[in-house]
Structure 1
Amino acid sequence: MEISRNDVDFYEKIRPVLQSKVEEFILLGYDSVTEQDIWDYLVNKKWKKDKVDLMLFEVVQEIFSLKIGDFMNYTTVEALKESSFTLENEEDRLELLK
């Protein structure tokens, strides 16, 4: 089974597992993480290169083994990709020095 971001049926099956991981992250102090954020990380980062079929237990295992550091690294990189900050802009460089 190839997993995509729009795979609603599969997403609904593992939603309780995603909720459990969200609750874990909240206990660690990361209360802005959502189920959809974790799902996006898994689909866009973890499973992006894997074109093999994943069994349900493998997906659950991937979610439960997700570390907050890996998730936050991904989130940071994605935020930087979307940022309009450049060192070529004089105002941005001055803002960095404040």
Structure 2
Amino acid sequence: MVLNHEYDRFRELVNPVLKSKAEEFKILGYQEVTEQELWGYLTNKKWKKTKEEIRLYEIVQDILSVQIGQYMSYATVEAFKLPDFSFENEEDRQQLLK
């Protein structure tokens, strides 16, 4: 695994927490949110500014505190950044609604 973010060293340790959060989103009707996508949101948005002495419990707390609205806002913006996104394409619109 290539480490791109300072907190990637915690990735394997917190995988059960990520899985639990993804399952929570599935219960709420968001079937397509994966652990990897959730980790991407955290590293790209929530943890943009890293803390030098972050503790494992802080990472877990951040994961558990993610709300579906926060994640969906991030996912929507990221979808607009894709070079081939088009509102004219039905598949692209459906992907945005996942």
Interval of TM-score (by shorter of Structure 1 and Structure 2): 0.7 to 0.9
Alignment correspondent of 2:55: 55
Instruction: Give the TM-score normalised by the residue count of structure 1.
Output: 0.76
Cα distance, 1:4 vs. partner? 1.2
What CA distance in whole angstroms lies between the structure 2 residues aligned with 1:24 and 1:83?
31
Alignment correspondent of 1:68: 68
Alignment correspondent of 1:4: 5
What CA distance in whole angstroms lies between the structure 1 residues aligned with 2:6 and 2:22?
18
**For residue 26 of structure 1, what is the amino acid of its counterpart?**
K
**For residue 46 of structure 2, what is the amino acid of its counterpart?**
K
- Structure 1: where are the runs of 5+ without partners? 87-91
What CA distance in whole angstroms lies between the structure 2 residues aligned with 1:26 and 1:40?
17
CA RMSD of aligned residues (A): 2.4
Answer yes or no: is 1:18 the counterpart of 2:29: no
Aligned residues with identical type, % of pairs: 53
Instruction: Give the TM-score normalised by the residue count of structure 2.
Output: 0.76
Cα distance, 1:49 vs. partner? 2.0
Cα distance, 1:5 vs. partner? 7.3
Contact 2:22 2:33 in 1 (8 A): yes
Question: Structure 1 residues 22, 5: CA separation in 2 closer, same or farther (over 3 Å shift)?
Answer: farther
Alignment correspondent of 1:89: none
- Structure 2: where are the runs of 5+ without partners? 89-98
